[in-house]
A and B are shown apart, each in its own frame.
Chain A
Amino acid sequence: MLSLVKELCLLNGVSSGEDEVRAFIREKAAPYAEAMRTDALGNLIVFKKGAKATGNKLMLTAHMDEVGFIVNDITEDGYLKFAPVGGIDPRVVIGKRVSVGLGRVQGAIGLKAYHLVSAEEEKNVPKFEDMYIDIGARDRADAEAAVSLGALVAFESDAVEFGYGMFKAKAIDDRVGCAVMLKLLEEELPMDCTFVFSTQEEVGTRGAFGAAFSVTPEIALVLEGTTAADLPGTDSHRQVAVPGRGPVLSFMDGGTVYDRELFELMRELGEKHQIPWQLKSGISGGNDASAVQRTKEGVRVAAMSVAVRYLHAPSSVACVQDFDHMHALARKWIEAVACL
C-alpha cells in the first residue's frame, strides 16, 4: 500500500490536468476491471463484478486531482504570474519549488531577500497577485518558449517516510483514497462495485456531479484525505483529526450531513473488528459526497478519510498505518453493505 501511495503522490494532477494520474490508475486497474471508461469531465469510472450481482448499487469515489496553480501572465522579465487552483493557504507558498506544465519545467516561487524586508512587511504574507515563479528565463519570449498561459503548476515534493511510521509527500489528499480503491480493485469483492476516480474535486467537486449522474448509485462511499490540526497549543475540539488514530469518519462537514445508518455502520464495524477509527470532530471542509448526495433521486453517502497535517501544502504529513486501516475498514463496510 505504501509504495502505491508513494507512486501516486509523485504524479502531477492539478485540477483539470489529472492526465498523469488517470493514465497510471487506468493501467493498474485494467487487469481487474469488468468495464472502464473516461467521461467528459475526465473521471475514470471502473466497474468490477463481485460475489453478489448488485449492479450500480454501490459507488466508491476518490479524487485524482490536487491543489496547485495556473499561469495567468508572463512578465517582461520572464517571470510567471499565477493564481491558485483550489484552496491554498498563502502562508505556505513563498520560496517553494514547483514544476510547470506537462513538460515539468522546473521553477521556484520567488521572494524578497530577508535583508530587504521592512519590519512592517515582515508582519504580512505576500498576496498571490504579488508572487511570481522563476524558471530561469531571460525574458518573456524566452519564458514563452517553455511555458504557455494556462499551464498548470504543481508543487515539487518527494515521497518519504520519516519519524515513527509517518509519511511526507504532496497530494496525499487524495492519492491515498485512490490507492485504497486500487487495492480494493485487486481483491475479490462481496458485491459489484463502481469505482470513480474523480476530477476537479479541489475546485468545487466538479467531476463528481457527472460521475454520480451516470453511475446512479444507491449508496456511495467517499475515500478522502482530511485536515489534521493536532499541533501543540491547539484546543482538542479544534484538532479535527489526529494522524495515527485510524480512518476519520464523517457524520457532518461543510457540505454534507451524512447518512446516519451508513455512518453508524462504519463505527460499529471498527469496534467489532478492532480497527482504530476516529470522528471528524470539526464541521469544516467538504468533499465529493455533497455532489453525489444530491444526484437524481438522491444517494445515501458515507465518507472516511486519512488524517493529513498541512493538507493542501507541498509537504503534507500522514501516518502510514492509517492507510491500511482505512483499507481494512472500507473492506468490512463493503461486506456489510452487500447484505443491506
Chain B
Amino acid sequence: MNIRETLGTLSAMAGPSGFEHPVAEQAAGLMRPFLDEANVDRFGNAVGVRLCGKPGAPRLLLDAHLDEIGLMVTGVEDGFLRFRTIGGVDPRMLPDRELTVLTHPSILGVVTCLPPHVLKPGDTKKAIPISELRVDIGMDQKEAERTVPIGTPMVFRGGCFDLKNGRLCGKSMDDRSCFTILLRTAELLKDKPLDVDLYVMGSTREEVSGAGAKVGTYGIHPDYCVAVDVTHAKTPDMGKGRRSNIGGGPQIGVGPNMTRWMTERMVGKARELGIPYDLEVMEGHTGTNGWHMQIVREGVATSVVSLPLKYMHSPIEVLDLADIEQTAQLLAAFAEHLGKEAGSIC
C-alpha cells in the first residue's frame, strides 16, 4: 500500500465523533486485502480479523481511532450558525477558519471574526470565546434554517498537503495516521504465519469518551491490546519537559496503563530490529483508548504506542511519514510469535 495516498484519502474524509460512518466503511474496505474479513460493528467501529488457524489461539487487538474533533451546530442567528465543540478544540484558532458543514451535500462555512475597528482597543490580543463565534455560510436566516438543521456536525475543511522531507501537514492526522499504521502492519504480516488471532479496530468516539474502543474491545475479547495514537512532538512553543521530535520513530508508553511485559517486549523488538524509538513515561491516564481497553471484562494486557505529532487537534497537524513505516514495522514484529513469547505477571 501507498502510505501517503492512504493517509491522504482518510485525512480528507469527515468523521467527527459520533459521525464516523463513512470513514469506518472506508477503513473496513482498506483492511480487507490484508485480513480474512472486515466489517463495521453496530457501534460504528471498523473491525477486521485474521485468524491464525489454531483453535483457541490468544487474540491480539490493534486499535486506532477513526473519529476527529469537530463542531456541532446549536442554533441559527441572522443566517449565521451558533455551535459547540465536539472534543477539544482551541477557540483561538477558530476565527476565519474554513469548515465543512456536514449537511447533504456538505457546504462551506467560515468562522466569523469581527474586524478590529469594531472592537475596543486591545481586544485583538484577547481570544474570542466560542459562545461569541458564529459560522458564516453565506445565507440569510430563512435559507440557513432550511439548509442546516440544528445538530449538524462540522469539521475543519480540507485534507493534508506535503511539507519538506516527507513530512505531512493536515487535519485528522490524529488518529487516521495511526489507523494507516495498522493497515501497513497488517500488510507487513500478510504472508507471515501468526500464532495469535489478529484483530484490527478503527474505533469511534475516542475524542469524546473512548466508548467505541470500550465496547469494541468487549466484543472482541482480546488477550492483548495495543492502543496506537498520536503524542505531542516537540514544537518551539512547548514548555519545559522532555519531548521528542517528529521523525524519531515511535514512542513506547511506560506507566500504569501499560502492562510492563508488553512495554518490555515492544522495546525489545525495537532494539532487535534497530527501529528508532523513545520511551514516553505516562504516570496515569494516557489520554488514549488504552486507558479504557485495559479494564474491559476481566482486564487486558495493554500497550500504548504513539506517533509523534505537532500541533495536535488543529487543521495543520504535522507528522513524518517515516515514523508511520517505523511504527508499523515495530507492531508487525510485536505481533509475530506473540503467542509463544507472551509474558505474564507472576
Q: Which residues of the other chain, B, contact A27 by a CB distance below 8 angstroms? A: none
Judging by beta carbons under 8 Å apart, are A282 and B316 in contact? Answer: no
Judging by beta carbons under 8 Å apart, are B310 and A91 in contact? no
| Minimum Cβ distance to chain B for residue A145 (Å) | 9
- A-chain residues with CB within 8 Å of residue B84 when the two chains form the complex: none
Q: Considering the chains assembled together, what is the distance between the CA atoms of A79 and B100 in angstroms?
A: 30
Q: Does A297 contact B (CB under 8 A)?
A: no
A residues less than 8 Å from B77 (CB atoms): 232
Q: A124-B125, A164-B139, A229-B118 are in contact. Are A91 and B316 (CB under 8 A)?
A: no
Give A114 to B93 CA distance when docked, in angstroms.
10
Q: Is the CB of B239 within 8 A of A124?
A: no
Interface size on B, residues (CB 8 A): 60
A113 to B164, Cβ gap below 8 A? no
A33 interface contact, C-beta 8 A:
no
- Chain A residues within 8 Å of B88, by CB: 114-115
Chain B residues whose CB sits within 8 angstroms of the CB of A122 once the complex forms: 90-92, 127
Residues of A224-254 at the interface with B, using a CB-CB cut-off of 8 Å, are 227, 229, 231-234, 238, 240
Task: Say whether A311 faces chain B, with CB atoms less than 8 Å apart.
Answer: yes
Are B136 and A136 in contact (CB-based, < 8 A)?
no
- Interface digits, A63-76 against B, CB 8 Å rule (1 contact, 0 not)? 00000000000010
Taking the complex as formed, is A150 at the interface, i.e. its CB lies under 8 A from any CB of chain B? no
**Which residues of the other chain, B, contact A311 by a CB distance below 8 angstroms?**
115
Which of A114, A126, A164 has the most B CB atoms < 10 Å from its CB? A114
Stretch with Cβ within 8 A of A (4 or more), from B11-19, B105-113, B266-274: B105-113
Residue numbers in B under 8 Å from A43 (CB-CB): none
Q: For residue A114, which residues in chain B have a CB less than 8 angstroms away from its CB?
A: 88-90, 312-314
A92 touches B90 (CB 8 A): no
Does residue A310 face the partner (Cβ distance < 8 Å to B)? yes
Q: What CA separation (Å) do A309 and B162 show in the bound complex?
A: 30
A-B pairs with lowest CB-CB distance, top 7: A163-B138, A136-B163, A166-B138, A136-B167, A108-B316, A136-B164, A95-B93
A-B contact pairs, 30 of them (CB 8 A): A92-B96, A95-B311, A96-B316, A97-B161, A97-B316, A106-B161, A110-B310, A110-B311, A111-B92, A113-B313, A115-B88, A116-B232, A116-B238, A122-B127, A125-B125, A126-B237, A132-B236, A134-B169, A134-B310, A160-B108, A162-B137, A162-B138, A165-B138, A231-B114, A231-B136, A232-B77, A238-B118, A309-B110, A317-B136, A317-B138
A114-B89, A231-B134 are known; give 11 further A-B pairs, CB within 8 A. A91-B92, A109-B316, A110-B318, A111-B237, A113-B311, A114-B88, A162-B138, A282-B117, A309-B112, A311-B115, A313-B95
